[in-house]
Amino acid sequence: MENISNILKQFSAQQKMVVLVLLLIFTSVTSVVTTYLTSDYNSCSSIVKENKELLEDYIVISQLIRQQEQQKRSTTSEMRVDSIIVTRSPASIEPEMTTLDTIMMIAEKHMK
């Protein structure tokens, strides 16, 4: 308040009224804008949180798919070395089902 009184001492009576109105408008607008910008009204935190979750799930799914492809490549290279046609055993099917089940659980988590 001392700053405002020091400012007003420099003006005449009519000018003081104009300066007071300008100061009132400036402080009001500054207060409203500051309150609006710091409020959660325009916050994107929920969207950012959802995007982070989706990105983490994408990384998990990508890693699962890469692991599955590497397992297929290693099985294929072993089959080429031996030159024998190998049929899949039930044990080799389980990792695929686990991978697909994991992917489905992650996808269902984001379904609305």
Burial of 103 (0-12, 13-18, 19+ CB in 10 A): middle
Domain count, the chain: 2
| First CA to last CA distance, the chain | 54
- Position 75 scores a pLDDT of 75
Q: Are residues 23 and 73 in the same domain?
A: no
* CB-based contacts of 110, cutoff 8 Å, min separation 6: 53, 54, 57
Tens of pLDDT, residues 31-65: 999 888 777 766 777 888 889 999 998 898 888 88
Instruction: Report the distance separating Cα 16 and Cα 7, nearest Å.
Output: 9
Give pLDDT tens digits for 1-29. 678 788 788 888 888 888 889 989 999 99
Task: Phi first, then psi: give them for residue 50, nearest 5 degrees.
Answer: -65, -40
Query: With 60 as the cut, is the pLDDT of residue 98 above it?
Result: yes
Q: Clarify whether residues 30 and 60 are in a common domain.
A: no
Same structural domain, 63 and 93: yes
Given this model, what pLDDT does residue 28 score?
95
Same domain for 55 and 28: no
Residues 53 and 86 in one domain: yes
Residues of the domain holding 18: 2-38
Q: Is residue 30 domain-shared with residue 49, that is, in the same domain?
A: no
Domain match, 49 and 103 both:
yes
Is there a single domain that holds both residue 58 and residue 92? yes
Is the pLDDT higher at 111 or at 1? 111
**How does DSSP classify residue 39?**
S
Reported pTM: 0.43
